[in-house]
Structure 1
Amino acid sequence: MPPEWTNETAIAQWETLPRDVVEAMDADGDFAKRHLVNPHLLRLLGPLDGRRVLDAGCGNGYLSRMLARAGADVVGVEPTEALCGYSREREAELRQGITYVRAGLTSLPEDIGGPFDAVVCSMVLMAIPDWRPAMRACVEALKPGGTFVFAVTHPAFENLSATWREHGEYRLDRYLDEYEMPSTYATDFHRPLSAYLNEAADLGCRLREVVEPRLPAEAADGVAGVAFGRLPNFLIVAVGREGAA
């Protein structure tokens, strides 16, 4: 990554996210999360009733609230004041028993309430310049035998909608490089799929499942719908921390 990028500068971008954008994703995220990400996250996490779950990089807390509704005892961690504050506002209204902690993923507080049965990190790792310490913190927060599920934009198909609209097909270049991907509100960072999988292996995790979700035909609409039905815009990975449960 360019030297000017630190985790702190990346986090600062998310502090400026407009309130209406935060509120629009309140119930179950946006269209893509609703149809392509959330169903697989919940399936890979398995039964949640009574389990301790860490939502790492919880954003506005929508996934934490979904997990709590499924019976989990949830801790949500979010580094930005804007998003963590919104999550706490919603908890004050709904009283689901969720604990929200403002902290970066690379330096989780010792009293965060672990170890956890499961850690979920949805659409976060690709937004962190120095991401390896964050993945390590997620794994170390698990009980032995616990489940770590993470979702990222698929490294091979990050610009799926835009490329499909322009060319009627998908085109890929510089896959093996690491580089910035500016978007409307913040910058993500491309790195190859092997970086994520090899890091999880180096941390002592065993691969359980890799999901490249296809948009259901009944949800497809327009050019983006066609593209999402033919190529995976997201990558969802479940690994287990080695050791007896």
Structure 2
Amino acid sequence: MEATAEEGDFAKRHLVNPVLLRLLGDVRGRRVLDAGCGNGYFSRMLAERGAEVVGVEPSEAMVTFARDKERETGRSTRYVQADLTRLPDLGGAFDAVVCSMVLMAIPDWKPAMRACVEALRPGGLFVFALVHPAFENLWATWREHGEYRQDRYLEEYVVHGPAAPDFHRPLSAYLNELAALGCRLREIVEPGLDPSVAATTPGLTAYTRLPNFLIVSAEAPA
């Protein structure tokens, strides 16, 4: 947790964070929910930019770490240990909700997405990031074959990872649920790695040519 406490891991720093921050825009004075905040690194980035942040995370260890970091910084970010599908009273509606790398990691994702949308003020901004469902195994298959291979895209299945599993669902599942919640799509981003960054580390060519992440911005119903 300490190693990723400032800006997250390599992928977050170079591919995810810059897009999230651009889509969220100027957050000064805005109330933002970091839904599934993990160790709180992105909450801290938002607070540094002047947002009033509440971070929600089910893991006790993560919340404890985030609260300890908060005491070091002296800011007023509030961290709440809770499941996204059963949010407690968080003190009113939010101007924006960011849910980064969470929805594809939980089986009960539809109630979690609904909770994020319902936490927003009318017309508020919902931004979420996923491992791109079309390119989940980008690193492994590119390394083995020199190209990307996918043969089960339309199925739903478990993607086993080194720490915990993710859950593959086609992109249409997320976008159709967003529409069913009455949200208006604003932008979809499929970021590629800057070739100059890829050149610093062997084996990253695939990330300059195919997107490993998908980031979506939408407005809640007015």
Both proteins in one fold, TM over 0.5 = yes
Q: Which runs of 5+ in 2 are unaligned?
A: none
Percent identity among equivalent residues?
68
Match of 2:48 among 69, 90, 97: 69
Determine the structure 1 residue equivalent to 2:173: 195
Q: Is the counterpart of residue 164 in structure 1 residue 142 in structure 2?
A: yes
2:209 partner amino acid: R
Match of 2:190 in 1: 212
Shift of 1:56: 0.1
1:228 aligns with 2:199: no
Other-structure match for 2:18? 39
Matches of residues 95-174 of structure 1 in structure 2 within 5 Å?
A: 95-109=74-88, 111-174=89-152
The Cα RMSD (Å) is 0.8
Alpha-carbon distance in structure 2 between the residues aligned to 1:58 and 1:179: 25
Out of 178-187 and 226-235, give the one that drifted further: 178-187
Runs of 4+ residues deviating >6 angstroms? none
TM-score w.r.t. length of structure 1: 0.89
Alignment of 1:12-91 (within 5 A): 22-91=1-70
Worse-superposed segment, 213-222 or 58-67: 213-222
In the TM superposition, residue 223 of structure 1 has moved relative to its aligned partner by: 5.1
Shift of 1:92: 1.1
The residue matched to 2:42 in structure 1 has which SS? helix
Post-superposition CA distance 1:14-66 (Å, at most 9, x none): xxxxxxxx111110001100000000000001110000000000000000000
- The amino acid that maps onto 2:32 is V
| 8 Å Cα contact 1:164-1:223 kept in structure 2 | no
Q: Structure 2 vs 1, CA of residues 57 and 108 (structure 1 numbering), >3 Å: closer, same or farther?
A: same
The residue aligned with 1:175 is 153
Match of 2:221 in 1: 242
Q: Which SS does the other structure have where 1:225 is aligned?
A: coil
**CA shift for structure 1 position 225:** 1.8
TM-score normalised to the size of structure 2? 0.98
Distance 2:179 2:12 in 1: 26
Q: State how far apart, in whole Å, the 2-side matches of 1:147 and 1:191 are.
A: 23
Shift of 1:196: 0.5
Separation in structure 2 between the aligned mates of residue 122 and residue 208 of structure 1, nearest angstrom:
17
Letter in 2 for 1:208: R
Native 8 Å contact 1:26 1:61 kept in 2 = yes
Contact persistence 1:79–1:102 (CA under 8 A): yes
Show structure 1 runs of 5+ residues with no match: 1-21
